[in-house]
């Protein structure tokens, strides 16, 4: 099984919050080789920025953020270059009203004829009444 994963899911796999158990299950399945997760190269700066914000808000220590960042960096994700996805992502963003950042993940899912996993309910809602409805799967 192949899925595209976004930063919201990876963060939840390492930080206890709503959806963490399900996100952790997906990551464990990757580590077991049962699932292949794909992401655009944007995932690393996005997860890094989320960790930075959590440190600034006092939700994580610097050491915890570094440890989580290293764990995410060592996951065996298949990474695709954003530059090759950009034309399609821009079309999706313009047509669906989502950010180009989010559209990169949606575009990658389309290229591989799969769905993306996200914890972003707003993204799923924005895609709901478009031809891309069902492309994004909300992490429960």
For the chain, domain boundaries? 3-138
In the beta sheet, which residues pair with residue 3?
A: 37
Render pLDDT for 14-39 as a digit per residue (tens, 0 to 9): 999 888 999 999 999 998 989 999 99
Q: What number of helices (H) and strands (E) belong to the chain?
A: 7, 5
CATH architecture, range 3-138: 3-Layer(aba) Sandwich (3.40)
Which segments are annotated as binding site?
Answer: 6, 102
pTM for the structure as a whole: 0.93
Render pLDDT for 59-103 as a digit per residue (tens, 0 to 9): 999 999 999 999 999 999 999 999 999 999 999 999 999 999 999
Which segments are annotated as binding site for Mg(2+)?
Answer: 6, 102
Query: Distance between CA 14 and CA 9 in Å, rounded?
Result: 9
Beta strands 116-118 and 78-80 are unpaired
């Amino acid at each position: 099984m192949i899925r595209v994963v976004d930063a919201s899911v990876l963060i939840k796999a390492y930080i206890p919050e709503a959806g963490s158990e399900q996100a952790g299950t997906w990551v464990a399945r990757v580590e077991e080789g049962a699932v292949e997760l794909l992401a655009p190269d944007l995932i690393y700066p996005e997860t890094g920025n989320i960790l930075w914000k959590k440190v600034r808000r006092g939700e994580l220590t610097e050491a915890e953020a570094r440890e989580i960042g290293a764990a995410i960096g060592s996951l065996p994700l298949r990474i695709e270059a954003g530059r090759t996805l950009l034309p399609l992502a821009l079309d999706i963003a313009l047509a669906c009203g989502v950010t180009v950042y989010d559209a990169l993940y949606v575009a990658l899912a389309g290229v591989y004829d799969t769905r993306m996993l996200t914890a972003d309910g707003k993204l799923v809602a924005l895609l709901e009444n478009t031809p891309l409805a069902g492309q994004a799967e909300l992490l429960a």
